[in-house]
Chain A
Amino acid sequence: MSALIDIQNVSKIYASADDSTAWALQDVSVQLHKGEFVCAIGPSGCGKTTLLNIIGGFTQPTEGKALQDGEPITAPGPDRGVVFQEYALFSWLTSRENIEFSLRVKGVPKKERRERAEHYLDLIGLRRAADRYPGELSGGMRQRVAVARALINEPEILLMDEPFAAVDAMTRATLQEELLRLWQTLGLSILFITHNIEEAAFLASRIIIMSPHPGRIKDIVSVDLPYPRDRGSPEFAAVYGRVDRAFHT
Chain B
Amino acid sequence: MSQSPQSNGASADTAAQSESRDAHLRVREEQFLRDLKADRRRQSIRQLSLNILGIVLFLAAWEATPHVIPWMNRLLFPPPSDVVGTLRELIESGELIENIRVSLLRVLNGFIIATILGTLAGLLTGRLQLLQFLSDPILHGMRSIPAIALVPLSLLWFGIGEPSKVALIAWGAFFPIWLNTYTGVRDVPPVLLRSAMSLGAGRVQTMFLVILPAALPFILVGLRQGIGIALIVLVAAELAGASSGIGYMIATSHQLFRVDIMFIGIATLGFLGYVVDRLFTLLQSYLFPWYSSGK
Chain A residues at the B interface, C-beta cutoff of 8 Å: 56-58, 75-78, 80-82, 84-85, 87-94, 101-102, 104-106, 133-136, 149-150, 153
Q: Are A88 and B191 in contact (CB under 8 A)?
A: yes
Q: Are B199 and A105 in contact (CB under 8 A)?
A: yes
In the assembled complex, how far is the CB of residue A137 from the closest CB belonging to chain B, in whole angstroms?
9
Residues of A within 8 A of B192 (CB): 88, 90
Whether A136 touches B294, Cβ cut-off 8 Å, given contacts A90-B210, A92-B213, is yes
Q: Are A105 and B201 in contact (CB under 8 A)?
A: yes
Residues of A within 8 A of B291 (CB): 92
A-B contact count (CB 8 A): 79
Q: Which of B195, B197, B294 contacts A90 (CB 8 A)?
A: B195
Residues of A within 8 A of B202 (CB): 105
In the assembled complex, how far is the CB of residue A170 from the closest CB belonging to chain B, in whole angstroms?
22
Within 8 A of A (CB), among B180-212: 189, 191-192, 194-195, 197-202, 205, 209-210
Among residues of B, the one whose C-beta sits closest to the C-beta of A104 is B209
Q: Are B200 and A78 in contact (CB under 8 A)?
A: yes
Whether A78 touches B194, Cβ cut-off 8 Å, given contacts A92-B290, A136-B293, is no
Q: Are A75 and B197 in contact (CB under 8 A)?
A: yes
CA distance A174 to B189 in the complex (A): 28
Give the most central of B200, B201, B289, B291: most A CB within 10 Å: B200
Q: Which of B195, B200, B288 contacts A92 (CB 8 A)?
A: B288
Residues of B within 8 A of A57 (CB): 197-198
Q: Which of B198, B201, B205 contacts A56 (CB 8 A)?
A: B198
Within 8 A of A (CB), among B257-295: 288-291, 293-295
CA distance A136 to B205 in the complex (A): 26
Those 3 A-B pairs whose CB atoms lie nearest each other, nearest first: A135-B294, A135-B293, A102-B199
Among residues of B, the one whose C-beta sits closest to the C-beta of A159 is B198
Q: Are A87 and B198 in contact (CB under 8 A)?
A: no
Q: Are A56 and B194 in contact (CB under 8 A)?
A: yes
In the assembled complex, how far is the CB of residue A94 from the closest CB belonging to chain B, in whole angstroms?
8
Whether A84 touches B194, Cβ cut-off 8 Å, given contacts A135-B293, A136-B293, A136-B294, is yes
Q: Are B209 and A76 in contact (CB under 8 A)?
A: no
Residues of A within 8 A of B220 (CB): none
Q: Are A101 and B288 in contact (CB under 8 A)?
A: no
Q: Are B210 and A77 in contact (CB under 8 A)?
A: no
Whether A78 touches B294, Cβ cut-off 8 Å, given contacts A56-B194, A92-B213, is no
CA distance A163 to B209 in the complex (A): 24
Chain B residues at the A interface, C-beta cutoff of 8 Å: 189, 191-192, 194-195, 197-202, 205, 209-210, 213-214, 216, 288-291, 293-295
Main secondary structure on chain A at its contact with chain B? loop
Q: Are B200 and A90 in contact (CB under 8 A)?
A: no
Give the most central of A81, A91, A94, A102: most B CB within 10 Å: A91
CA distance A78 to B194 in the complex (A): 11
Q: Are A84 and B290 in contact (CB under 8 A)?
A: no
Residues of A within 8 A of B294 (CB): 135-136
Give the most central of A76, A77, A106: most B CB within 10 Å: A76
Residues of A within 8 A of B290 (CB): 91-94, 133-135
Among residues of B, the one whose C-beta sits closest to the C-beta of A106 is B200
- Identify 23 residue pairs between A and B in the complex whose beta-carbon atoms are under 8 Å apart, listed by A's number: A56-B194, A76-B198, A77-B198, A78-B199, A78-B200, A82-B194, A84-B194, A84-B195, A89-B195, A90-B195, A90-B210, A91-B290, A91-B293, A91-B295, A102-B199, A102-B200, A105-B199, A105-B202, A135-B293, A135-B295, A149-B195, A150-B199, A153-B200
Among residues of A, the one whose C-beta sits closest to the C-beta of B288 is A92
Whether A133 touches B205, Cβ cut-off 8 Å, given contacts A58-B194, A84-B194, A102-B200, is no
In the assembled complex, how far is the CB of residue B202 from the closest CB belonging to chain A, in whole angstroms?
7
Residues of B within 8 A of A136 (CB): 293-294
Among residues of B, the one whose C-beta sits closest to the C-beta of A155 is B198
In the assembled complex, how far is the CB of residue A132 from the closest CB belonging to chain B, in whole angstroms?
8
